Chain A
Amino acid sequence: MTTVATRRELPVRAPRPSLLERLTAGGSWTVFALLLLVFVLIFVMNPSFAEPSSLMAFVKKAAPLVILAIGQYFVIVSGEFDLSVGSLVGAQVVIAAKVMDGQDELTWPVTALMIGFGLLVGLVNGLVTTLLKVPSFITTLGMMLVLYGAIRLWTGGAPTGALTEQFRQWGRGGIFGEPGQFQVPYALIVVVVLGVLAVLLMRRPFGRTLMATGDNDVAASYSGSPVWWVRTRAFLLSGFMATIAGILIGGYAGVTAQVGEGLEFMAITAVVLGGVVLGGGRGTVVAAMAGALTLEALFTLFNQLGLPSTIRPVVQGVIIIAAVAYAAMPRKARRRRPAVPPPSAAGDAAEPKEPAPTHA
């Protein structure tokens, strides 16, 4: 807002802010800077990482988290949480292995089954949260326990069966070239496609409604948006993305008992790292994906540094806090966010220069 606008026509876009302004505006640039920095460091540490095949290997590893971040983004931007994705990923892999049990002809049916299951979990999360009014933190926490237990109950504690090679290609294989040489991983294609779709979706009416619902669900519902269904769809998307992530992880590394553990926190961390505000209504999906990439890149960097693996959590913790703290740093008063969830538009706008967020 740079001029006293007394003209009648509104410009579609605000006048371009200065470079500095853009660099320091909002949380999301932080993540891109960090991402860049980490990659530069990695390249310096280990030039061979810059080789295409190495990068592709990185992509394969990072893809699942990026996709989880997309799903988590939808939920968080609508003002909710999804803690169940981790155990959902685990459940999906185990289901796949047990049901297809290495029979190629079952690959596709099972994939369909998994997607169905993922959507079902999302639906339950969504409906319990929206209709039964259970805080999504609790809903998805419960779902996390349920999935964890149910799956092990079903498989007697340890995953059984096996994944088919065909199924595993998604996470393991690629096109163009032979395994061992450079390949464009399917994972990369999947991520790009889903990423683009997500961006488009957020520009669609649904995306706008989702955003508005996260910002002020009452206003949204008074405007005819079916809040419960909008949020439920966010959970459905999260469930779907978790399924895809499961397919990729299963493909990448096969079946183990631990698969998926802790991913929910990774995903949320990634999204927040991307400057998306817990509580909803702010942030871009691209930044969320960048957050996921940054996180994965960090882990890679730790390896390249030969950082003792027991110290890594320390560094990780410091960096996450630092990044978020930086993004939360008051530049303009209105950029401030309350320090505790959920960030409401309320609060800290205390400077007189602050145009009053008018409120009833």
Chain B
Amino acid sequence: MRPARALVAGAAVATLFLTAACTTDTPTDPADGGGETSAEETDGGEETGGADSEWFVQADYDRQLAQREVVPEGPGEEPWLQAIEPEYVDTAEFASEGGDKTLCFSNASVSNPWRVTGWITMQQQVEVLQEDGLIGEFRVSDAADDDNKQISDIQAFVEAGDCDAIIVSPSTTATLTPAVEAACESGKPVIVFDRGVESDCMVTFIHPIGGYAYGADGAEFLVDNLEPGSKVLALRILPGVDVLENRWAAADKIFSESELEVVGTEFTGGDAAAIKDLVTQYLQRGDVDGIWMDAGDGAVAAVEAFEDAGKPYPVFMGEDEMSFLRKWQDTDMTAIGAVYSNFQWRTPILAAQKIWAGEEVPSEWVLPQAPIEAEELDAYLDANAEMPSLHYAKFGGEDLPGFPEAWTDR
């Protein structure tokens, strides 16, 4: 066997010589910054990230919490066009006459309801611009959560060369950086939204305030509404996704500075059955007074666990997902619907419009992100009355022509 294994190894080696030899379109080394923010090894004992993990960056935390208070610039009735503390960049270089533009969009996936909702909104926005004749072709590659495929997708857009703008919704921050930078170098305007990349080469990076704010909204609500010493259970989807890790990091920080006791932090994979089972078991071992979730998926299952166990409703942090909002209304519990603004899916399209028009856009386009509080609940329920249960209240598509059919009957 030895020869054969040697051969394999040899192949790998040979490879690398080849690699070294060839000309390359590798993006510039993202080492700077890359190293820091991307996770290094953490010691095995500490398993759930949190405030003292590499996911917590004090500065970002402080900035985001502050941004919640800032009054955003822009039209109030169109939050997807608002921007917080924008630093505008000139886009004259990309300005071009005429319509019938080719807009290319590399989507991480539509593998969860939040993305599905946003994706519909985006398509509706595109249709509007297609009506206007501004956009000719809207070319989409869906990577189905496969970073590797998304890299290829972006490369393909660059190769094709006929994209008038490239929108990227990265599936993972660190891993997409090289590809996005390659896209930037192609000279086409690149728009990144939702999750970011470790680079500022794109024209604009569109995102709501962010994970820290999201996590803090819920955590602060729990702190305010629970007696000191109350027990809080934190339900998380999965480790390793920066957006989610930031949410927990912020919450963890706030909890650790509060009187509340975090009885557990569990990863549920967003699976309702798992969530219900976990909560049920915690209830068997003792009371749980508050639930913090890093995403709304399956929130209802958690609530039901309390019902089925015959326990009083906890103070609950959910999301602006309709199923939860409706449950919230039915049970009239003390709750908050944290929001990771879904309407951000409109913004990239409109940003492209501006860029083509040569209008300046914020280099980092921070969209407002405000949780749904009890008093706003009914309003949002009415506004989304017909919407399916896995729809997100702050999807911001009410004024689009396709409303509501596009969202109701998919």
Residues of chain A having any CB pair with chain B under 8 Å: 46, 48-49, 51, 53-54, 57, 61, 64, 155-162, 172, 178-181, 249, 252-259, 261, 299-300, 303-304, 306, 308-311
Q: A172-B304, A300-B281 are in contact. Are A161 and B275 (CB under 8 A)?
A: no
When A and B form their complex, which 6 residue pairs have the shortest distance between CB atoms, in order from nearest? A180-B310, A156-B410, A253-B272, A158-B113, A157-B116, A160-B388
Beta-carbon contact of B297 and A257 below 8 Å: yes
Chain B residues in 8 Å Cβ range of A178: 310
Q: A57-B280, A61-B273, A162-B389 are in contact. Are A179 and B113 (CB under 8 A)?
A: no
With beta carbons under 8 angstroms apart, the residue of A46, A158, A181, A308 that contacts B285 is A46
Beta-carbon contact of B284 and A310 below 8 Å: no
Chain A residues in 8 Å Cβ range of B307: 179-180
Beta-carbon contact of A309 and B267 below 8 Å: yes
Beta-carbon contact of A259 and B272 below 8 Å: yes
Known contacts A253-B298, A253-B304; can you find 19 more A-B pairs with CB under 8 A?
A: A46-B284, A48-B285, A51-B284, A57-B284, A64-B273, A156-B116, A157-B115, A158-B117, A179-B310, A181-B310, A253-B272, A255-B389, A256-B390, A257-B111, A257-B112, A259-B271, A304-B285, A309-B266, A310-B47
Alpha-carbon separation in the docked complex, A179 to B310 (Å)? 7
Q: How far is the CB of A247 from chain B (nearest CB, A)?
A: 13
Alpha-carbon separation in the docked complex, A46 to B282 (Å)? 11
Contacts of B301-331 to chain A: CB distance below 8 A: 301, 304, 307-311, 323
Residue B276 is within 8 A (CB to CB) of chain A in the complex: yes
Select from chain A the residue with minimum beta-carbon distance to B271.
Answer: A258
Residue B278 is within 8 A (CB to CB) of chain A in the complex: yes
Q: How far is the CB of B212 from chain A (nearest CB, A)?
A: 22
Residue B27 is within 8 A (CB to CB) of chain A in the complex: no
Sample 14 A-B pairs with CB under 8 A, ordered by A number: A61-B276, A61-B277, A157-B110, A160-B388, A180-B311, A253-B301, A253-B304, A256-B390, A258-B271, A259-B271, A259-B273, A300-B277, A304-B281, A310-B47
Beta-carbon contact of B300 and A254 below 8 Å: yes
Beta-carbon contact of A254 and B301 below 8 Å: yes
With beta carbons under 8 angstroms apart, the residue of B115, B272, B278 that contacts A256 is B272
Alpha-carbon separation in the docked complex, A280 to B297 (Å)? 40
Beta-carbon contact of B300 and A257 below 8 Å: no
Residue B334 is within 8 A (CB to CB) of chain A in the complex: no
Alpha-carbon separation in the docked complex, A255 to B311 (Å)? 22
Chain B residues in 8 Å Cβ range of A253: 271-273, 275-276, 298, 301, 304
With beta carbons under 8 angstroms apart, the residue of B47, B110, B111, B277 that contacts A311 is B47
Beta-carbon contact of B47 and A308 below 8 Å: yes
Beta-carbon contact of B390 and A254 below 8 Å: no
Q: A158-B112, A180-B310, A254-B300 are in contact. Are A261 and B271 (CB under 8 A)?
A: yes
Alpha-carbon separation in the docked complex, A157 to B123 (Å)? 14
Contacts of B136-170 to chain A: CB distance below 8 A: none
Residue B48 is within 8 A (CB to CB) of chain A in the complex: yes
Residue B34 is within 8 A (CB to CB) of chain A in the complex: no
With beta carbons under 8 angstroms apart, the residue of B48, B278, B284 that contacts A54 is B284
Chain A residues in 8 Å Cβ range of B402: none
Beta-carbon contact of A61 and B280 below 8 Å: yes
Q: A159-B390, A181-B310, A253-B272 are in contact. Are A310 and B239 (CB under 8 A)?
A: yes
Select from chain B the residue with minimum beta-carbon distance to A181.
Answer: B310
With beta carbons under 8 angstroms apart, the residue of A256, A261, A303 that contacts B301 is A256
Beta-carbon contact of B273 and A257 below 8 Å: no
Beta-carbon contact of B309 and A180 below 8 Å: yes
Alpha-carbon separation in the docked complex, A179 to B306 (Å)? 10
Beta-carbon contact of B300 and A48 below 8 Å: no
Query: What is the 8 Å Cβ interface bit string for chain B, positions 359-378, against chain A (1 contact, 0 not)?
Result: 00000000000000000000
Residue B264 is within 8 A (CB to CB) of chain A in the complex: yes
